Amino acid sequence: MLSFIKSPRIDRIYYADIFRINTKICVILGHGKSTAARIAANQEGENDLARDSVAIDEVGGVLEAGYDLGGYGAYADPSSTLHAMHPVSKMIYCLSPEQTNEIQARNTLVKCSPSHMAQLAVTYPYPATVAQYVCTPTEMEMYSSASGRAQILEHLFLQTRFSDTYLMPFTSSVEEKAAIYRHEV
C-alpha cells in the first residue's frame, strides 16, 4: 500500500493552473481557466506546469507556485519536477459572464488589488485531494477554510510585495481569451 506524506504547503492550496505564457509564469484561476491559457502557451507540455491544485508560497522573498495535491507518495523520484515551485509573474482570475458585466470591461486584462485577488482565489472548493489521506477531519476543516486560505494568500502578497494581479473578462471564445493572454502577458 502506498503511504503519503503531508505537504508542507497544505494550508495554501488553491484551485488554479500554472502556465508559462510568453516565458512568464502565470497562475490562472476562475471560470474557464484552462483551455485558453493552454492555447496561449502554444499547447506545449513544458508550458503546462500544473492543473487544478496549486500551492502558492513565499520562497526566498519571491511568490512561487507549484503543483500540490496536499500530500506526496512516500517514494520521491529525485529527477521529478512535478512538484517544482515556479516564480510567479502574474496571477489572473478569469471572470464569469456575470462578473464581467459587473466590471464592464472587455478584451483586456483588468488590474485588481491583491486583497481582491485573495478573496476571489477561494471561490472554488479546496482542491487538495490527497489531503484527506494525511489529515484528520479537524485539520481538513482548518486547511480547507476559505477565509483562512484568503488570509494566507493576502499575507503572502504583502510579504513578497506581489501586486501583478489581474482579472480576465469573459470572452465569447477561447481563442479570443488566448489572444488577450498572448498580447498582455
Q: How large is the greatest C-alpha to C-alpha distance in the chain, in angstroms?
A: 53
Give residue 169's pLDDT band: very low, low, confident or very high (50, 70, 90): very high
Tell me: the pLDDT tens digits for 82-119?
778 999 999 999 999 999 998 877 789 999 999 999 99
What length is written for the chain?
A: 185
pTM for the predicted model, two decimal places: 0.93
Beta-bridge mates of residue 98: none
pLDDT at 1: 55
Contact 149, 126 (CB under 8 A): yes
Q: Mean per-residue pLDDT for 137-160?
A: 96
Domain containing 91 equals 4-184
Closest CA to 126 of 140, 150, 144, 139: 144
Closest CA to 71 of 6, 3, 141: 6
Cell of 125: 472548493
Give the Cα separation of 121 and 133 in Å (integer).
24
Question: Domain count of the chain?
Answer: 1
Q: Mean per-residue pLDDT for 130-140?
A: 93
pLDDT at 43: 85
Q: Report the alpha-carbon angle 73-76-79, nearest 5.
A: 140
pLDDT at 80: 62
Tell me: the pLDDT tens digits for 22-78?
999 999 999 999 999 999 999 888 999 999 999 999 999 999 999 999 988 755 655
Give residue 178's pLDDT band: very low, low, confident or very high (50, 70, 90): very high
Q: Mean per-residue pLDDT for 149-153?
A: 98
pLDDT at 88: 99
pLDDT at 66: 97
